[in-house]
Structure 1
Amino acid sequence: MVVRSLDVRSYKSFLRPVSFPLSPECNVFIGPNNCGKTNLLDAIDFLAHPEKDPSRLHHHRANMEAAFSFNDAEAKRFGMHGVTIVGKHYTVEIRGHGAEAVTEEIEQYVSSRVRMLSYESFTEFEQIESDYLSLAQKYPEVFDRFSRLMRQHFPEIEGITTIVDEATEDFGSVSLGSRSITIDRLGGGFRRVLVMLLYALHPDYSIILIDEPEIHLHPGMIKKLLHIIHGGAMNQLIVTTHSPLFITAEWLSQVYRVLKDEQGSTVYSLAQQPVAIDRQRLVQELNADNLEMFFADKVLVVEGVSDRILMRGLIDRFYQGSLDIKVIYTHGKSNIDIYRQLMSCFHIPYLVMLDRDALPAIADELHIRHLLRHDWRESNTVLAAELLKHHIVILDNGSIEQNYPKQYQRDDSKPLNALFASVNITPEEFQSPRMKNLRDIIQNL
């Protein structure tokens, strides 16, 4: 069983309708603090377990719907392909996809398959003990895989013996080096990894909701955990995170960016876009560094590495605003468009800075060639304003080398020149006429 889609018309911070499909594998919700990410996990958890806290459907306008799809064995058992759970007007109703009657057995089954892991869940030792025992006793092959993965990727825990220590009142014991310690005394990071993998693999569950799985985890441990998750054969995972490590080019279709404004929260993703972005191009272009754009307040997109070095250094020294600015380079003009599409899709604020020689191609692409005259300076004001509507600025006097003092351009290597200039340009030079273009860009980020 998996959550196939979520439709929230009104719930907590979601005041406007938002609807999106979900992957049967791993789904990652990102966004600033207090934007509504956890509310989406809470909505799914509430629909599956309305009896836990009915007050959560706390407003007469609350209206949400989750579609659950059954696997072949479940469909054969229940005689239907899935169910839809609707929370509306203080009540929760479950019905079959074809309006079939839903028995109490089906309701209880769906409820039992969803597990929410909040911060407090990792200290619910009695529940962890029960689920660990059931995995070991009912599913020995899965338990062996679980133990093998822990030993392979987290050798600090040399072997999982038993999570139940009958000789004490403590819950669970694991081998840590030459010592055997109980699960409640295991370090927070190792405990979280153990518990997350326990539920991600446990056949008694189908849907695991995890709020900020990276808490207490060293980046190296996060990478190992993600390597296991991306290996497949897991329950459906739906997580919220503030860690860029959870975003990869290959899994970008399963990333959802949650934003909040005065009209409430909303969700942006590739899955919601009517026009598909070239996924293969994304895999080729995106890396761990430029994927940090998903967590920035605004992105400055430049063509080459020397542009990035200089602009990053100048922003660090002279930018007076409060935004977190990420500077990424695209290895050339031909790659700009894929970045623009991606940032527009996820509603990431951005500005593209290009050399003057990119102007004809950009003017053609934006269908504003009629504004471009032979002498750029004659059409500068009107054309620049039109380009800015598309989040593009042009260095009207040529390339970036024409926009900072020549005395810093002493090497044949443009990146080395940019690095030298980025740390040595004085405040007076930054205010000079030669640097007006770069100064205007930085001051208006």
Structure 2
Amino acid sequence: MESTAPMPGTVEFMGLPTGPATLTICAYAQRDGLGSLLAEGESLLSLAPGVHSNVTLTLIGVPDAITVNATTAALVAGETAQCVATVYDALEAIIVLPSGSIEWSVTPSTVATITQEGLLTAVGEGQATVIARVKDTTISGSFVIDVVPPAMVPTPSVAPMADAWLLGEPYGAVHLSWPVPPTGVIAVLVYRSTNPSAPIAILEPSHNWFVDSANLYPTGNVLENTTATVSMDTTTGVKTIFDTSITYESTLANLMDPQQTLTDDTLQITCRRMQLTPGFKTAYHLRWLYNGALTVAEFSRATGVYALRLSSLSPASQAVTNLMPPVLVAPDDGVLPLDSTYQCATTPGADSYTLQISNDPSFPPATSLHSEMTVAMEGSAAITIPLANLIAQYGMTTDTPIFWRMGARKTTEPLPATVANPNYAGWVYSEARTYIFPAVTSAFSR
């Protein structure tokens, strides 16, 4: 108990020698000076005959008990908590002591450490006893805190399943999504179901993966080979390095064995995304690379308090059919199809074909002509859109560039939810060809 309000009074001393003196005042629980000592204070003064001295005394509460607690009852290794000591006098009133009056300690030090400001740091799994003692007294208090393993990182899942689909241009290719990784995950690894032991991609923490068609259908030197290094500070659990280097080659073999090393603080791994063959059907899996606190037994022989670990392999996503873009047959680029027929070679795995014609090379749905067939004859698909339809659509009052392309899809599988425009749902499109439609004269139009 500390009083800041002045309490004036007059004290006369008789028969005391002159010179330096110490004035001590004590406050007791009873008016007669009996009972528990609650507070005391002292001041130095100089005594002289007939001289009055003004003295200011500060009464400081006398500790009788102390309680200790923290902002949490459990920590994971590497986390911190502020400890608080509350001091009481004999009447159980709270006492505010001067700064530095509390001494802090914790045992064992392999589980936790503490500063003299009461900041507790968890080190290894187990229980630790935190002790606060009023300096220069035997008055102390304590509490027990648990240092627990980190929450188990769950097995990832791929969701929604319908997003695991090969999408045709202009929407891209495979799009996987999954729940946001939990705290502690520092990388996401992607696997194909055909080889769940060797990843095809490693990503910084995210909740989706989008692969454009250039990487799914590589031509020339675009087979992707990624070497990744991920490192972590084992004292804090914070990622320190995420470095990838990508090379593109034309002769990469399938990576059937996992080429990786995983130590306490570093993962080095090779990821290889191979070309897909026409009509190939596959699904995808995920793993999370995460940090986890070491157990007490591990701590005794490890250099840090965190370690990198790999989660279990996720269940497979919905299998997807990867169709190759159709190869155009006729007409040749730059040739006007006088018979109004456009033709492509059949695509393995596809059972439906479409033709798009537009005066815009981006084929906007609002201005494109569209026709579809579901049966391909003798290795090719031929679709007709009469030239008169083009005249009706675009006018053709001047020489007009016309663009056309053909698409393929597999209609027996559900359409992906990510495709909003039904004109493009699930289509894998060929390259575009073009020709010049000559200006239409009035005689021709009649």
Q: What TM-score range do you get, normalising by the shorter chain?
A: under 0.3
Which fold has the larger relative contact order, with Cα–Cα distance below 8 Å and residues 6 or more apart in sequence?
A: 1
Which has the greater radius of gyration? Answer: 2
Q: Which has the higher helix share?
A: 1
- TM-score normalised by structure 1 residue count: 0.23
- TM-score normalised by structure 2 residue count: 0.23
